[in-house]
A = this chain, B = another copy of it.
Amino acid sequence: MSRLAVVTGVPGVGKSTVVKLALERLKEVGLEYELVNYGDVMLEIAREEVGVKDRDEMRKIKYEIYRRIQEGAAERIANLAKEKPVLVDTHCTVKKPEGYFPGLPKWVLERLNPRVLIIVEASPEEIAKRRSRDASRRRDEELSEEISEHQQMNRAAAMAYAMMTGATVKIIKNREGRVDEAADEMVKALR
Protein backbone atom coordinates (compact mmCIF):
# COMPACT_ATOMS: atom_id res chain seq x y z
CA MET A 1 0.00 0.00 0.00
CA SER A 2 1.10 3.57 -0.70
CA ARG A 3 2.58 5.63 2.10
CA LEU A 4 1.04 9.04 1.57
CA ALA A 5 0.70 11.70 4.26
CA VAL A 6 -0.48 15.29 4.16
CA VAL A 7 0.92 18.12 6.26
CA THR A 8 -0.97 21.36 6.86
CA GLY A 9 -0.85 24.43 9.09
CA VAL A 10 -1.94 28.07 9.04
CA PRO A 11 0.59 30.62 7.73
CA GLY A 12 3.21 31.48 10.34
CA VAL A 13 2.88 28.25 12.28
CA GLY A 14 6.43 27.15 11.46
CA LYS A 15 5.39 24.12 9.44
CA SER A 16 8.44 23.91 7.16
CA THR A 17 10.96 23.89 10.02
CA VAL A 18 9.20 20.98 11.71
CA VAL A 19 8.82 19.12 8.40
CA LYS A 20 12.51 19.55 7.54
CA LEU A 21 13.63 18.22 10.93
CA ALA A 22 11.21 15.28 10.90
CA LEU A 23 12.15 14.21 7.36
CA GLU A 24 15.87 14.34 8.29
CA ARG A 25 15.27 12.05 11.25
CA LEU A 26 13.23 9.63 9.21
CA LYS A 27 15.95 9.56 6.56
CA GLU A 28 18.48 8.63 9.23
CA VAL A 29 16.46 5.51 10.01
CA GLY A 30 16.12 4.66 6.31
CA LEU A 31 12.66 6.03 5.60
CA GLU A 32 12.96 8.62 2.85
CA TYR A 33 9.93 10.79 2.11
CA GLU A 34 9.60 12.96 -0.97
CA LEU A 35 8.13 16.32 0.00
CA VAL A 36 5.63 17.52 -2.61
CA ASN A 37 3.87 20.88 -2.64
CA TYR A 38 0.29 20.49 -3.86
CA GLY A 39 0.14 23.98 -5.32
CA ASP A 40 3.36 23.40 -7.26
CA VAL A 41 1.95 20.25 -8.87
CA MET A 42 -1.23 22.14 -9.78
CA LEU A 43 0.82 24.92 -11.36
CA GLU A 44 2.84 22.33 -13.29
CA ILE A 45 -0.35 20.83 -14.71
CA ALA A 46 -1.87 24.24 -15.42
CA ARG A 47 1.27 25.13 -17.40
CA GLU A 48 1.10 21.95 -19.43
CA GLU A 49 -2.62 21.94 -20.07
CA VAL A 50 -3.87 25.51 -20.21
CA GLY A 51 -0.65 27.50 -20.70
CA VAL A 52 -0.77 29.29 -17.34
CA LYS A 53 2.53 31.05 -16.52
CA ASP A 54 2.45 31.72 -12.76
CA ARG A 55 0.39 31.59 -9.55
CA ASP A 56 -1.23 34.92 -10.34
CA GLU A 57 -2.70 33.53 -13.55
CA MET A 58 -3.86 30.43 -11.62
CA ARG A 59 -6.26 32.63 -9.66
CA LYS A 60 -8.05 33.71 -12.83
CA ILE A 61 -8.80 30.18 -14.04
CA LYS A 62 -12.47 29.21 -14.31
CA TYR A 63 -13.83 26.98 -11.57
CA GLU A 64 -14.43 23.93 -13.76
CA ILE A 65 -10.90 24.01 -15.13
CA TYR A 66 -9.44 24.69 -11.69
CA ARG A 67 -11.20 21.62 -10.40
CA ARG A 68 -9.91 19.45 -13.24
CA ILE A 69 -6.35 20.63 -12.52
CA GLN A 70 -6.88 19.90 -8.82
CA GLU A 71 -7.95 16.36 -9.67
CA GLY A 72 -5.02 15.90 -12.02
CA ALA A 73 -2.60 16.94 -9.27
CA ALA A 74 -4.14 14.42 -6.87
CA GLU A 75 -3.71 11.66 -9.43
CA ARG A 76 -0.12 12.61 -10.20
CA ILE A 77 0.82 12.63 -6.49
CA ALA A 78 -1.00 9.34 -5.83
CA ASN A 79 0.99 7.77 -8.66
CA LEU A 80 4.25 9.05 -7.23
CA ALA A 81 3.29 7.52 -3.87
CA LYS A 82 3.17 4.08 -5.47
CA GLU A 83 6.94 4.32 -5.92
CA LYS A 84 8.06 6.01 -2.69
CA PRO A 85 6.74 7.57 0.55
CA VAL A 86 5.28 11.01 -0.14
CA LEU A 87 4.53 13.90 2.19
CA VAL A 88 2.15 16.42 0.60
CA ASP A 89 2.45 20.01 1.76
CA THR A 90 -0.91 21.76 1.39
CA HIS A 91 -3.65 23.61 3.27
CA CYS A 92 -6.46 22.19 5.36
CA THR A 93 -8.44 25.31 4.50
CA VAL A 94 -7.38 28.53 2.79
CA LYS A 95 -8.79 31.73 4.30
CA LYS A 96 -10.16 34.06 1.63
CA PRO A 97 -12.52 37.07 1.72
CA GLU A 98 -15.30 34.73 0.55
CA GLY A 99 -14.61 32.26 3.37
CA TYR A 100 -12.64 29.14 4.28
CA PHE A 101 -11.87 27.23 1.12
CA PRO A 102 -11.40 23.46 1.66
CA GLY A 103 -7.95 22.32 0.55
CA LEU A 104 -8.93 18.67 0.22
CA PRO A 105 -12.48 18.39 -1.17
CA LYS A 106 -14.04 14.99 -1.89
CA TRP A 107 -12.67 14.67 -5.45
CA VAL A 108 -9.12 15.29 -4.22
CA LEU A 109 -9.42 12.89 -1.27
CA GLU A 110 -10.80 10.10 -3.46
CA ARG A 111 -7.76 10.30 -5.72
CA LEU A 112 -5.10 11.11 -3.12
CA ASN A 113 -6.32 8.67 -0.46
CA PRO A 114 -3.93 9.81 2.30
CA ARG A 115 -3.23 7.60 5.34
CA VAL A 116 -2.31 10.49 7.67
CA LEU A 117 -3.37 14.13 7.88
CA ILE A 118 -1.05 16.26 9.99
CA ILE A 119 -2.04 19.65 11.37
CA VAL A 120 0.82 21.71 12.75
CA GLU A 121 -0.57 24.20 15.26
CA ALA A 122 0.88 26.93 17.44
CA SER A 123 -0.63 29.28 19.98
CA PRO A 124 -2.59 31.98 18.15
CA GLU A 125 -0.69 34.63 20.13
CA GLU A 126 2.68 33.38 18.93
CA ILE A 127 1.52 33.14 15.33
CA ALA A 128 0.07 36.65 15.53
CA LYS A 129 3.37 37.97 16.86
CA ARG A 130 5.31 36.32 14.04
CA ARG A 131 2.90 37.59 11.40
CA SER A 132 2.85 41.16 12.66
CA ARG A 133 6.65 41.33 12.58
CA ASP A 134 6.07 41.31 8.83
CA ALA A 135 2.88 43.29 8.65
CA SER A 136 1.87 44.90 11.98
CA ARG A 137 -1.20 46.13 10.17
CA ARG A 138 -3.66 45.02 12.80
CA ARG A 139 -4.06 44.73 16.49
CA ASP A 140 -2.52 41.45 17.66
CA GLU A 141 -5.50 40.50 19.79
CA GLU A 142 -7.95 40.60 16.91
CA LEU A 143 -5.51 38.69 14.75
CA SER A 144 -5.12 36.04 17.49
CA GLU A 145 -8.86 35.47 17.53
CA GLU A 146 -8.92 35.06 13.77
CA ILE A 147 -6.05 32.57 13.88
CA SER A 148 -7.78 30.65 16.63
CA GLU A 149 -10.94 30.43 14.50
CA HIS A 150 -8.89 29.32 11.48
CA GLN A 151 -7.18 26.57 13.49
CA GLN A 152 -10.56 25.38 14.78
CA MET A 153 -11.99 25.24 11.26
CA ASN A 154 -8.93 23.29 10.11
CA ARG A 155 -9.55 20.68 12.79
CA ALA A 156 -13.17 20.28 11.70
CA ALA A 157 -12.14 20.06 8.05
CA ALA A 158 -9.49 17.45 8.85
CA MET A 159 -12.01 15.23 10.66
CA ALA A 160 -14.33 15.44 7.64
CA TYR A 161 -11.39 14.43 5.42
CA ALA A 162 -10.70 11.55 7.83
CA MET A 163 -14.29 10.32 7.63
CA MET A 164 -13.98 10.22 3.85
CA THR A 165 -10.66 8.37 3.72
CA GLY A 166 -10.11 6.61 7.04
CA ALA A 167 -6.93 8.67 7.54
CA THR A 168 -5.78 9.55 11.05
CA VAL A 169 -5.61 13.21 12.06
CA LYS A 170 -2.44 14.11 13.94
CA ILE A 171 -2.37 17.48 15.74
CA ILE A 172 1.16 18.66 16.43
CA LYS A 173 1.80 21.63 18.70
CA ASN A 174 4.80 23.63 17.55
CA ARG A 175 5.64 25.34 20.85
CA GLU A 176 8.07 28.26 20.90
CA GLY A 177 11.59 26.94 21.41
CA ARG A 178 10.47 23.31 21.36
CA VAL A 179 10.60 22.45 17.69
CA ASP A 180 12.39 19.18 18.59
CA GLU A 181 9.28 17.86 20.34
CA ALA A 182 7.12 18.84 17.37
CA ALA A 183 9.47 16.96 15.01
CA ASP A 184 9.31 13.89 17.31
CA GLU A 185 5.53 13.91 17.08
CA MET A 186 5.69 14.20 13.30
CA VAL A 187 8.05 11.24 13.14
CA LYS A 188 5.49 9.18 15.11
CA ALA A 189 2.84 9.99 12.53
CA LEU A 190 5.04 9.29 9.50
CA ARG A 191 7.10 6.23 10.37
Query: Which residues on A are within 8 Å of B, measured CB to CB?
Result: 1, 62-64, 67, 93, 96-102, 104-107, 109, 115-118, 149, 152-153, 155-171, 188-189
Contacts and interface: CB of A to CB of B under 8 A. Distances in A.
A156 to B, nearest CB: 4
A90 to B, nearest CB: 14
Nearest to A67: B166
A46 to B, nearest CB: 17
A167 to B, nearest CB: 8
30 contacts: A67-B166, A93-B159, A93-B162, A96-B168, A97-B188, A97-B189, A98-B188, A98-B189, A99-B117, A99-B170, A99-B189, A100-B162, A100-B171, A101-B162, A101-B168, A102-B159, A102-B163, A102-B166, A102-B167, A105-B162, A105-B163, A105-B166, A109-B163, A149-B171, A156-B159, A156-B160, A157-B162, A157-B163, A160-B163, A161-B163
Contacts of A63: 1, 115
B168 A153 contact: no
Contacts of A104: 163
A75 B82 CA distance: 31
A25 to B, nearest CB: 15
The 6 closest A-B pairs by CB, nearest first: A99-B170, A99-B168, A156-B159, A160-B163, A160-B160, A105-B166
Nearest to A63: B1
Contacts of A166: 67, 102, 105-107
